[in-house]
Chains A and B, each alone.
Chain A
């Protein structure tokens, strides 16, 4: 998509101006990919300063960091720090304006290192560890030396996403069969380590948690994910062509795959300047909301399960089947819809399906409101979830979490409002946020969003325009790049795609919502009892598979450092003056 006639003007000029004023010649180049997307190439040494200014002075949130091996194009590695800049409420008192501001810096191949942004913007921590794994670029000043994405048995100097490193099918013999990942080592009198995983009982997916507890109380947590790293980004750049990747994007996540699919399609459609038909926008919106229906019911069911209300769990799963049937009716399959092509969708919604969906929406509204009523009247649920797993707004601001996790901490931030896509600016709907900061707030948000999604499906079905569902006959232009973004059930999914010159992608960076939510989980776990741990983990509705990528960095006021173990030890013993307080 989606050069809409009304938005030819470039949004975000004011931030570019302000940054130019502040940094002068440090900003070397300015290019616009779309009316709301601007890339600024900056001097490598000033990268942290520019990202910091955009993040802290102009209301920026870190969306994704993409590394790219551009040596065949311009002789350098490149780093793209993508920020959604939304302005400060106090910003000159003018109308709020939001854009994606991408800070790009070139890294010379003979000195593959760059100044780490993490000490200034903690949200970058996972991204910089990932860039080190995948490209071998060393973030100077990043305290955490551990691998993030690559498994323990992977050779040390092999970086899969370098263009000249290896064939995508290359499988080196395992270097080791033991776990070499170094977890925190918190010690102290009465402190017990509880290893949990990688196969564990709280959730289906592999992830390795270390909880450090004193009696029943969690003092700290460390965790390791990325057990399911498969190498999808490399696959998209090698075996598949750019128009096949929509079907791969569906398989990033079995729960919110369609959101990825739309985000990917949007990024390519923006890069190529394809405008997609109105009807296709509506069909995409309907399917995105149908996906949110089943995903939120799943999470509400799990919330019941983790507080020991298994009847509720079974009941939520019973009604959830109706949303699965809805997906099957509209797309032909319960999961992995495979509905998008570059330029539109593959299947129309005719009257028969429309009427049936409207009927099911009505039934679902009744059934789920009965169940949610029952859930909230169970005294247990409020007792178990209120003030549990608190995500303080300051921590949330520093780590850029997304979706209900962020909206539960009082931030009214939803990509559907800030950067509208598909038909979200065409149908009226209401944004939900709460300032409870706890598990209860996040659960209630999901319940309310469920009903809003139902209404949105109904409105879209009622007002859907006629006309074609697919744009055909566009041209593939090499080396264009752009962002695609979608508010998935768990928050912002963002895809940065760059086209190659062979009907393939040159680079695809897909970032799922949970990737941004994991790093803040550590702060939610602290100061809770062990019995609440699974509940807290479930409250961010984590999706290991799509995240597949925690760390020892800590916020202390604005500067970031490793909390010394001695300090933690002292805290374990004395249990006062927490070193982790912001």
Chain B
């Protein structure tokens, strides 16, 4: 038996239609800033749904661009598909698609909607929404933040394209990328960054390592102690003091060892 093709072998399959595609081109001009959005959750974890909620409530307020969430696909210009396309939701998702009047814009929202995300190859899902539907726009993220959501819709509505300017950088003959701090040996930098990140986490660790390395003065331990003391007094954070002390010990061992 031939392999089952989920996109075409269904009685609900979406068939390409030239006339609709032509209408689609005119859609944006017709709806302008009055876009009705219907959300279809096809197996999302709720993270995407709640961030869409956040995007339409007062702080981010997508309605100022005319983007309104409606409660029936019959009213929709834009369909937003969230979540990995599960087996059980495939037919309801297609029925929602057919229920919306042509022409319409389909958006795949979130990592799972775009590609299936972490669930991409599981038995219970078909992958992203584009496995069964024609998708016009992808809004990635796990989940996309409300600003990313508003940005995505603005792109969908053609509000943004004209404002984007691409810059192409061509590397010059003698141009070389710079080390972040050339005065510190790379091996020392890596060691300190690793230690700091292990103790304080990736994000804090980088900043702590940068601060520490800016105080390292070529192997003069007592000078380092002095500037560390002043630094810590200003910060007044016992946990930071603990981390810095441990970094100093590592640094001292490093000096002795090599």
Contact = CB atoms under 8 A, between A and B. Distances in A.
A348 B201 contact: yes
Interface residues of B, number: 64
Interface string B96-126: 1000000000000000000001110111111
Given A168-B122, A199-B96, A234-B123, A255 B46 contact: yes
Interface in B159-209: 198-204
A539 interface: no
Interface in A391-409: none
A350 B125 contact: no
B88 A318 contact: no
A346 B46 contact: no
Nearest to B89: A227
A177 B10 contact: yes
B88 A317 contact: no
Contact of A336 (B10, B49, B142): B142
B236 A168 contact: no
Interface in A537-567: 543-546
B258 interface: no
A151 B240 contact: no
Given A169-B123, A204-B46, A228-B89, A251 B118 contact: yes
A226 B122 contact: no
B91 interface: yes
Contacts of B77: none
A350 B142 contact: no
Contact of A199 (B40, B87, B125): B40
B16 interface: no
B80 to A, nearest CB: 11
Interface in B44-70: 44-54, 57-59
Nearest to B12: A177
A59 to B, nearest CB: 33
A345 B228 CA distance: 27
B90 to A, nearest CB: 8
A347 B239 CA distance: 13
B41 A204 contact: yes
Interface residues of A, number: 68
Interface string A64-77: 00000000000000
B71 interface: yes
B59 A230 contact: no
A197 B170 CA distance: 55
Contacts of A239: 121
Most buried by A among B12, B52, B235, B239: B239
Nearest to B52: A204
A228 B87 CA distance: 8
Contacts of B225: none
A206 interface: yes
B49 A230 contact: no
Interface string B1-24: 000100001111000000000000
A254 B54 contact: no
A467 B245 CA distance: 12
A230 B43 contact: yes
A351 interface: yes
Contacts of B39: 204
Contact of B47 (A151, A234, A254): A254
Contact of B46 (A205, A234, A314, A321): A205
Contacts of A169: 121-123
A382 interface: no
Contacts of B25: none
Classify the secondary structure of A's interface with B: loop
A150 to B, nearest CB: 8
B145 A231 contact: no
A458 to B, nearest CB: 17
A291 to B, nearest CB: 12
Contacts of A389: none
B35 interface: no
A42 to B, nearest CB: 33
Contacts of A204: 39, 41, 46, 49, 52-53
A227 B95 CA distance: 15
Contact of A324 (B54, B73, B87): B54
Contacts of B117: 251
Contact of A231 (B57, B122, B238): B122
B143 A467 contact: no
A509 to B, nearest CB: 16
A334 interface: yes
B167 to A, nearest CB: 28
Given A234-B123, A318-B59, A346 B201 contact: yes
Interface stretch (A28-36, A113-121, A152-160, A433-441): A152-160
A336 B4 CA distance: 35
Nearest to A198: B92
Contacts of B59: 317-318, 321
Interface of A: 151-154, 160, 166, 168-171, 173-174, 177, 179, 198-199, 201, 204-206, 226-232, 234-235, 239, 247-248, 251-255, 257, 279, 298, 313-315, 317-318, 320-321, 324, 332, 334-336, 345-348, 350-352, 466-470, 543-546
Given A251-B118, A348-B243, A352-B237, 19 more contacts: A168-B121, A174-B4, A174-B87, A198-B89, A199-B73, A204-B46, A204-B49, A206-B92, A230-B122, A247-B118, A253-B45, A317-B57, A317-B58, A318-B59, A336-B47, A346-B201, A348-B200, A543-B46, A545-B43
15 contacts: A151-B124, A153-B87, A153-B88, A168-B121, A177-B11, A199-B73, A228-B89, A229-B88, A230-B86, A231-B123, A251-B45, A251-B117, A254-B49, A335-B50, A352-B237
